[in-house]
Amino acid sequence: MTRTVLITGCSSGIGRESALRFQREGWNVIASMRTPADEKELVNLSNVICPALDVTQETTIRDAIAEGLHAFGNIDAVINNAGYGLIGPFEAFTADQINRQFQTDVLGLMAVTREILPHFRQRRSGLVINVASFAGRSIFPLYSVYHASKWAVEGFCDSLQYEVSSYGIQIKIIEPGLVKTEFWGRSTDRENRTGIKAYDKEARPVLDLIDNAAGLFATKPEDVADTIWNAANDGNNRLRYVVGVDAHTTLLARKVLTDKLYRGIMKTVFSPSSVSMLQKFSGKLQKMGNDAF
Ligand SMILES: NC(=O)c1ccc[n+]([C@@H]2O[C@H](COP(=O)([O-])OP(=O)(O)OC[C@H]3O[C@@H](n4cnc5c(N)ncnc54)[C@H](OP(=O)(O)O)[C@@H]3O)[C@@H](O)[C@H]2O)c1
């Protein structure tokens, strides 16, 4: 029987590539997004529907699941992918910015999971794949709230698997490194609280570098979709899937180094002087990055 997957955040990036991959492989795809009226490609594919789903709006989650069940009868897997990154000095975030990061990347993911669990429990089968990040088990400067959200996702998923496994439900976590998507463009939220200038000297060069160079060595969203596809089909109980050389290296460093050493390396890498050195070569790096993709 044809299997069905529901994916959140399919308007671009990892969610979109995953929708395309599962569709190509013959699955039914509930490719949800906030504004399906703008979608031109996915809506025209066979066995794909694009319901409106904003992970911060519970009624849209319920309606999208109902629409998917009406169209395809069952849902076998959910991919919690919707998310974005809040970047900058913590003190310069507004309360709304901090809330929205958690409402989307943490509480939104929990809300979708909670809504699908009764269906999975009833069927004694189901898979929830959560797109976290290598940022969920490692640390970089100026990502405090984003890190907190992804660490929260890791803890949530790691604990949840115990209580749902006896109902035949599996929880999996995808941990990509840097991926070349809109995450580095329109999906970046920047510090917005007025009047906080204290961090400018130290933080500005690092933020400028992130603006100019983020994604240079990034993995492609298709690679992450590949890993998600494998996670959905490998038939084993593995919990975590790391994607990208940068993610593997960083997580290994985080695992084997002491806190002190890891912190020392991060401080050096993200110091204004090494940033200015990297900026010198950023034109070359940009070209290398563009050639690679
Ligand atoms: N790119 C990276 O380097 C990277 C690395 C590690 C992990 N990740 C994670 O990968 C996931 C996907 O990001 P991406 O890289 O593919 O970026 P992306 O291209 O910007 O895609 C993000 C998607 O999330 C959607 N979204 C945002 N808020 C939403 C909400 N409230 N409800 C429903 N959908 C919402 C966006 O929809 P709209 O079009 O409506 O904004 C968009 O479809 C995120 O969870 C991100 O944290 C990304």
Q: How far apart are CA 125 and CA 75, in angstroms?
A: 10
Question: Which pLDDT does position 282 carry in this prediction?
Answer: 53
Q: Using the atom order of ligand 1, give the atom closest to the CA of residue 35.
A: 40
Instruction: Report the percentage of the chain scoring pLDDT > 70.
Output: 91
Question: Which pLDDT does position 293 carry in this prediction?
Answer: 40
Specify which residues 190 forms β-bridges with. Answer: 87
| Average pLDDT over all residues of the chain | 92
Cβ-in-10-Å burial (0-12, 13-18, 19+) of 236 comes to exposed
Please write the tens of the pLDDT for every residue from 222-233.
Answer: 999 999 999 999
Please write the tens of the pLDDT for every residue from 103-125.
Answer: 999 999 999 999 999 999 999 99
List ligand 1's pocket residues with C-beta within 6 A.
8-9, 11-15, 33-35, 53-56, 81-84, 104, 108, 131, 133, 176, 178-179, 181-183, 187, 221
Query: Among 6, 8, 10, 14, which is best to mutate for testing ligand 1, by the most ligand atoms less than 8 A from CB?
Result: 14
Which tokens go with 85? 């990154």
Q: Using the atom order of ligand 1, give the atom closest to the CA of residue 215.
A: 3
Question: Which pLDDT does position 287 carry in this prediction?
Answer: 56
List the one residue out of 145, 164, 150 whose CA is nearest residue 251: 150
CATH of 4-197+220-245 among 1.20.1250.20, 3.40.1190.20, 3.40.630.30, 3.40.50.720: 3.40.50.720
Question: Which pLDDT does position 292 carry in this prediction?
Answer: 47
Please write the tens of the pLDDT for every residue from 241-260.
Answer: 999 999 999 999 999 999 99
Please write the tens of the pLDDT for every residue from 57-87.
Answer: 999 999 999 999 999 999 999 999 999 999 9
